[in-house]
Amino acid sequence: MPMTRFLSSEFFHNYKRSASAIIGSTLMLLFAFAVIAGPFLVAQNPYDIAALDLMDSYKPPIWLEGGDPRFPLGTDGQGRDVWASILYGARISVFIGLVAMVASCTIGTLLGLIAGFYGGIIDSVIMRIADIQLSFPSILIALFLMSAVGTGVDKVLIALTAVGWVVYARTVRGSTLSEIEKEYVQAARVAGLPNSKIIRKHVLPNVLTPLIVIGTIQVGTFVLIEASLSFLGVGVPITQPSLGLLIKNGFDVLFSGLWWTSVFPGFAIMMLVFGINLFGDFLRDELNPRLK
């Protein structure tokens, strides 16, 4: 019953006719599959030193001369399979993007609700911090934070969350301000509901829709920021190489003709972010009543 309702909905109808939505969601599904099933798709665990053989180092992709059928996209300097590295690296990239998005969304939404609902000095303080943050590029703030707290997956998550909550806070505050003017919020107050309950039950559900779009696109943004941080050497540690770190590792030998160690991870990031953004754009068009 819910399935048939979805299949006959306007959303699904528009989805079927939107090439970008189909391409975007297909790419996202492929990555979801790769992230979940990755370790079962490849024979080699690229983090297991015992599985590596230095004799296999810098093998080119399979279609070039000297290619090895065991390593379809070639290997790096340690004899690590690039294809396996990408599958493992994508896990880290996607994990960081998703977790940081959820954390940013939670914190930003909470602060936005508080700012919008209570107003006054609390509102001013929260929103001025947000304004100051927005006046700097987020990569710069993340870079600054990373150089202050050091590297590591947890540190990257903290830095991304510190950068990412702002958009949610601003959006939620805006919608909250317009929502609390509506009479049903007044009616809830008149009925004697405590503020916490009004915020949770009446305001929050009505401000969530735009966050779906922001959240989707932000995963892509976070993947890119994390890649940039790792490329610059302040991101994830070498023991947990994300896609960005793979590019960095390959970059050193890029101009020696060993291009595959860097280019394939780069291509993977591109496809991941491309898919997320395509689908995010579709969601934005669908969920924004003003664009209809």
Partner 1 sequence: MKEQAALKPLLAVRDLRTYFHTFSGIVKAVNGVSFEIGKGEVMGLVGESGGGKSVVGFSILGLIDSPGKIEAGEILLDGEDLVQAGEARLREIRGRDISMVFQDPMTSLNPLHTVGRQMDEVLRLHTDLDTKARKQACVEMLESVGISRASKRLSAYPHQFSGGMRQRVVIAIAMLAQPRIIIADEPTTALDVTIQSQILKLMRAQIAKKDASMILITHDLAVVSEMADHITVLYCGNVVERGNTRDLIEAASHPYTRGLIDSIPDTSNRHERLNQIPGSVPDIRNLPRGCNFRDRCPRAQALCAKKEPALTPQHATLWAACHFPLKPGESA
Decide if residue 206 touches partner 1 (CB under 8 A).
yes
The token pair that represents 88 in the structure block: 């493992």
Decide if residue 173 touches partner 1 (CB under 8 A).
no
Cβ 187 to partner 1 shortest distance, Å = 5
- Distance of alpha carbon 96 from alpha carbon 111, whole angstroms: 22
| Helix (H), strand (E), coil (C) string for 110-139 | HHHHHHHHHCHHHHHHHHHHHHHHHCCCHH
* Residue from 32, 41, 187, 238 in contact with partner 1 (CB under 8 A): 187
Which residues have C-beta within 8 Å of that of residue 33, sequence separation ≥ 6? none
Decide if residue 10 touches partner 1 (CB under 8 A).
no
* Residue from 86, 111, 163, 188 in contact with partner 1 (CB under 8 A): 188
Using the minimum distance from each CB to partner 1, give the nearer residue, 103 or 193.
193
* Contact range with partner 1 by CB under 8 A, out of 37-45, 180-188, 223-231, 261-269: 180-188
Neighbours of 177 (CB within 10 A): 16
Asked whether 117 and 199 are in contact (CB, 8 A), the reply is yes
Using the minimum distance from each CB to partner 1, give the nearer residue, 205 or 233.
205
Using the minimum distance from each CB to partner 1, give the nearer residue, 106 or 209.
209
To which H or E segment does residue 196 belong? helix 195-197
Cβ 1 to partner 1 shortest distance, Å = 15
* Residue from 39, 66, 137, 205 in contact with partner 1 (CB under 8 A): 205
Touching partner 1, residues 84-123 (CB under 8 A): 119-120
* Residue from 3, 19, 49, 191 in contact with partner 1 (CB under 8 A): 191
Decide if residue 200 touches partner 1 (CB under 8 A).
no
* Residue from 8, 190, 256, 292 in contact with partner 1 (CB under 8 A): 190
Using the minimum distance from each CB to partner 1, give the nearer residue, 119 or 174.
119
Decide if residue 182 touches partner 1 (CB under 8 A).
yes
Half-sphere exposure in the Cβ direction for 289 (13 Å, CA) = 1
Q: Which residues bind partner 1 (CB under 8 A)?
A: 119-120, 182-184, 186-194, 201-202, 205-206
